[in-house]
Amino acid sequence: MKKPLRCRLHLHLWKTEHNEEGQRYQRCLGCGTTRDKLTLNDFSGT
């Protein structure tokens, strides 16, 4: 199955989800690609 045109143009439609450990990530509704969800704590330097 081909990826939707929107995804091939890197214009994904992201939905925030949670894994078993409670961490957030994002999954594209069109093709299923995942990416980590950044939080402000990632940049706190502690």
Residue with tokens 């950044």: 38
Residue with tokens 């078993």: 20
pLDDT at residue 2, as a whole number: 85
- CA dist 2 and 44 (Å) reads 40
Residue with tokens 């502690």: 46
pLDDT tens string 1-46: 689 999 999 999 999 999 899 889 999 999 999 998 766 565 555 5
pLDDT at residue 38, as a whole number: 66
- CB neighbour list of residue 36: distance below 8 Å, 6 or more residues apart: 25, 26
